[in-house]
Chains A and B, each alone.
Chain A
Amino acid sequence: MNLSLIDYGTGNLFSVRRALEVCGANIKVIHHPSEAKNSDRLVVPGVGAFGSCITELHRLHFNEAIAEHIATGRPFLGICVGMQMLMTTSYEFGQHSGLNLIPGIVTEIPNRTDAGEVRKRPHIGWTSLSESQPWTKTMLSQTTKDDRFYFVHSFSVIPDNPAHILATTDYDGYEIVAAVKRDNILGTQFHPEKSGPAGLTILKQFLSL
């Protein structure tokens, strides 16, 4: 299992690399799009602001490598901002175009609940997932309703097509899209590499798809 992990200069790849390694992948951290060719799996992590992440991804021409990989039918995983970049448009500090691989938007989590109480941002913490469509044969096939995952974000995705939502989580009464799936294009808002054994289980399933 050859897995390419895209390094486009934003944040630390240490944990993602190590977590995937523990799950049995043969990891190549890549700095150039040509290195992505013939990978069994492609993973894009992402930490920080959407605008700077997508700018760097384009500047280094990784957008083309991602599209090529997806066209082969092999699984792709975007984590956190790596998943948000799959959308059409992000409204984080202005307006930015995403990769448009899953039509939809990235918007700020509302900072008030329906009752008018404060909903803190960033959303930081561990929550469980709800099934939006059957998880069998997906990367969540071994995930249970009691498993908890680590989230840290202020923005979240809203896919145009509800069929692209794999799982959601509740944050003070606001439904957050926690995982997306469009054929072989996968994404998680939470950090599987920071979610203990339950997170590693998801990465293992991603490798065995």
Chain B
Amino acid sequence: MRDVRVIARLDIKSPNLIKGIRLEGLRKLGDPQPFVESYYAQGIDEICYMDIVASLYDRNSLEDLLRKTAENIFVPLTVGGGIRTVENAATLLQSGADKVAINTAAIRNPDLIRQISERFGSQCMVLSIEAKSTTLGKWTAFTDNGREHTNRDVIEWVQEAVELGVGEILLTSVDQEGTQKGFDLELCRAVTNVVEVPVILSGGLGSLDDAKVAVSHGKADAIAVAHALHYNKFTVAQLKNAVKGAQSESAA
């Protein structure tokens, strides 16, 4: 049976956990540590920190947060936001991260993907995509929390990036993010149709049915959940049961 992961996504504006809508309109939720401790106690599969400001002088506190988390949380940790060089990635991996998620720097310099996957293995190199729907069945890659347009077609870009050594894709729909109106399933399907690496679908979960259809219709390998966990809308167990249910239905 396919094993679909439930990942807690925490957007960080150092030192706080924040939550917005469509990656904007940031609301402060406070110290991220008690949130991740609760998710770990509930049996979360992975933790993903996204530094949404990624300003250089705040990097030390992100490393501190990773170290603090890795002290007592024994599940995989992914970190993204502002990683520009192999050395940036190395520092975060040494601070306790297992994987790095990269968007902007990979678009500007695709060779960074090759460099990071050669040095640390492709399992470390997560491509972060911020996708906005343009015309029907087309998506454009954005950077800087959905603010900057790149002219890159998402479907073409993911294929190129996988060739360069990406081991996993974190696929965020900017249109759906924070809306609780459901994932962009068409986007996820379009991406999973063209790549053979795992795809984490992010942005928009509002109901347990959304978690189900992410698997059965979106063909996602993992779902990233922020709002619904941070506001205690659902427990980790409820989300895990929902994706499990979808798997047994699609296997039947």
B71 touches A18 (CB 8 A): yes
A196 touches B74 (CB 8 A): yes
CA distance A141 to B2 in the complex (A): 26
The reply on B175 being an interface residue by CB < 8 A is no
B76 touches A152 (CB 8 A): yes
Using known A-B contacts A14-B96, A15-B98, determine if residue A124 contacts B74 with beta carbons closer than 8 Å.
no
Specify which chain A residues have a CB less than 8 angstroms from the CB of B76 in the assembled complex: 150, 152, 191, 194
The reply on A99 being an interface residue by CB < 8 A is no
A47 touches B197 (CB 8 A): no
Shortest CB–CB separation between residue A23 and chain B, in angstroms? 10
CA distance A11 to B96 in the complex (A): 10
Shortest CB–CB separation between residue A191 and chain B, in angstroms? 8
A sample of 13 cross-chain residue pairs with beta-carbon separation below 8 angstroms, ordered by A number, consists of A12-B93, A12-B98, A14-B94, A18-B72, A47-B121, A47-B124, A118-B196, A120-B196, A120-B198, A121-B196, A124-B198, A150-B76, A154-B123
Specify which chain A residues have a CB less than 8 angstroms from the CB of B11 in the assembled complex: none
B94 touches A12 (CB 8 A): yes
Specify which chain A residues have a CB less than 8 angstroms from the CB of B168 in the assembled complex: 122, 124
The reply on A64 being an interface residue by CB < 8 A is no
Specify which chain A residues have a CB less than 8 angstroms from the CB of B1 in the assembled complex: 170
Partner of A14, one of B40, B43, B95, B221: B95
CA distance A170 to B2 in the complex (A): 9
- A166-206: contact bitstring with B at CB < 8 Å (1 yes, 0 no)? 00001010000000000000000001011111011000000
Given contacts A126-B3, A152-B98, 20 further A-B contacts (CB under 8 A): A12-B94, A12-B96, A14-B94, A14-B95, A15-B98, A18-B72, A47-B121, A48-B124, A120-B197, A120-B198, A120-B221, A122-B122, A122-B167, A122-B198, A124-B222, A150-B76, A154-B123, A195-B75, A196-B74, A199-B74
The reply on B5 being an interface residue by CB < 8 A is yes
B123 touches A19 (CB 8 A): no
The reply on A132 being an interface residue by CB < 8 A is no
Specify which chain A residues have a CB less than 8 angstroms from the CB of B221 in the assembled complex: 120, 124-125
Shortest CB–CB separation between residue B121 and chain A, in angstroms? 4
Shortest CB–CB separation between residue A39 and chain B, in angstroms? 23
Q: Top 10 nearest A-B pairs by Cβ distance? A: A48-B121, A125-B3, A14-B96, A152-B123, A122-B123, A12-B93, A124-B198, A194-B76, A118-B196, A122-B167
Considering the complex, give the chain A residue whose CB is closest to the CB of B90: A12
Using known A-B contacts A122-B168, A153-B123, determine if residue A194 contacts B196 with beta carbons closer than 8 Å.
no
Considering the complex, give the chain A residue whose CB is closest to the CB of B95: A14
- B1-42: contact bitstring with A at CB < 8 Å (1 yes, 0 no)? 111110000000000000000000000000000000000100
B74 touches A200 (CB 8 A): yes
The reply on B45 being an interface residue by CB < 8 A is yes
CA distance A48 to B120 in the complex (A): 5
Partner of B75, one of A18, A47, A122, A196: A196
Interface residues of B in 143-174 (CB under 8 A from A): 167-168
The reply on B70 being an interface residue by CB < 8 A is yes
Shortest CB–CB separation between residue A208 and chain B, in angstroms? 19
B5 touches A121 (CB 8 A): no
B43 touches A196 (CB 8 A): yes
Specify which chain B residues have a CB less than 8 angstroms from the CB of A195 in the assembled complex: 74-75
Specify which chain B residues have a CB less than 8 angstroms from the CB of A154 in the assembled complex: 122-123
A125 touches B5 (CB 8 A): yes
B74 touches A193 (CB 8 A): yes
B3 touches A122 (CB 8 A): no
Shortest CB–CB separation between residue B98 and chain A, in angstroms? 7
